[in-house]
Amino acid sequence: MKTLIEIFRNTPPGNACLILTKNVLSVVYGESFDDKIDEKMDITTKDFEVQLHPFPSKIAEENGIEGAPSIYINRKLKIYGVISPEEIKGLIEKAKPVKIGIIITKTPNANEDVENILAIGEEALKVGNQVELFLISDGVWVGKRGNTLTEKRLLNLINDGCKVKASRMHLKACGLNKEKLVDGVTISDEPYEDLVDLVMEQWGKVVIF
Amino acid sequence: MTKTITLLLHRGPYESEYADLAVNFALKAREKGYNVNLWLYGDGVWTPHVKNEKDYPNVGEHLRKALKDGVNVKICSRCAEARDVVKDDIIEGIPMVGLFDFTDWLDNSDKVLTFMR
């Protein structure tokens, strides 16, 4: 996944803005950085996407940027002022997206647990993390098509890139099957096998509800 | 280095599916070669109280297999004492210990899953 770095600069960019831009580009290009690189253009490389935005501007306002020069990394970390390439490298590491696994074991209508956990998933996606849901035990009801509490939210999550998997053995116990599930929910034939792999190898962080 | 997972079970057998989820997860994780710790806390201490055969799913039997396979299982001694769960009543080979053992597990785990409420 590419790291998105947005640089907000005054118009026309002052000295501080130009130094910050150069520092960002030296990180993006590493050893092949050339002072002559045209830093007026947006840049896409294998690992980075760099966008230059004016400040003040609509995009700055939408993202709550309060000053320039500043950088916004992966829409997660905002830093104001000129910082060194070393500092930028550290912040890029800090802003890396986290893969968050959410295990749901409860029905959506029993209490507010499922509403709250879906909200966590939605917020985590918004700030640039990856989110996956695993529905097991009574949690498989969360995947059911037509549930007025969850269907729309689940569809939105899936559209935003969230993977949702449901345990076949628990679906079967509840009389549910593929046809009765929201589009995009996939079925795990071996839930414990899959869950152990997700928890131990795939997900950076896990929450269980 | 082999990764370690600690599971905390805070629910009793047959009152919900959590005891089965925790023990089945432990069995599968162990089978796949991970170090697995299972901490029985609160009503979770009733799980090894299931000692006899059943003609329906038997979480005690699964727990016995987990122990045999090398899952580290420990019981919170205070929770057991509060419920008068004593060594003679439960599956053999599970130490009743203080909470320090659990925090020690937490310190040394890559992942933690809690099965409660």
B3–A200 CB contact, under 8 Å = yes
Higher pLDDT, B55 or A33: B55
% pLDDT > 70, chain A? 97
Confidence (pLDDT) at A126: 86
Decide if pLDDT at A31 tops 90: no
Contact B28 A138 (CB under 8 A): no
Q: What is the pLDDT of residue A37?
A: 63
- Domain spans of chain A? 3-94, 99-208
User: Which pLDDT tens digit goes with each residue over A11-22?
Assistant: 888 899 999 999
For the stretch A89-92, contacts whose Cβ atoms lie closer than 8 Å and that sit 24 or more positions apart, written own/partner, are A89/A27, A92/A3, A92/A5, A92/A27
Interface A:B, Cβ pairs < 8 A: 41
Mean pLDDT estimate for chain B? 96
- CATH class of the domain at A3-94: alpha beta
**pLDDT confidence of residue B83:** 97
Q: State whether B114 and A137 contact (CB < 8 Å).
A: no
Q: Where are the domains of chain B?
A: 4-115
A36 pLDDT higher than 70: no
Is domain A99-208 annotated with CATH 3.40.1260.10? Answer: yes
CA nearest to A133, candidates A102, A106, A155, A157: A102
Report residue B92 as tokens: 């053999």
The pLDDT score that the predictor gives to residue A42 is 82
Chosen for mutation from A141, A192, A197, A207 (greatest number of chain B CBs closer than 10 Å) is A192
**Nearest to A143, CA basis, from A109, A104, A185:** A185
The H or E element that residue A17 is part of is helix A15-29
pLDDT at A38: 64
Using the beta-carbon criterion (under 8 Å), do B34 and A196 form an inter-chain contact?
yes
A123-158: pLDDT as tens digits: 999 888 899 999 999 999 999 999 999 999 999 999
User: Is the CB of B75 inside 8 Å of chain A's CB atoms?
Assistant: no
Average pLDDT over residues B91-102: 96
Amino acid B51: pLDDT: 93
Superfamily of domain B4-115 in the CATH hierarchy: DsrEFH-like (3.40.1260.10)
Confidence tier at A122 by pLDDT (50, 70, 90)? very high
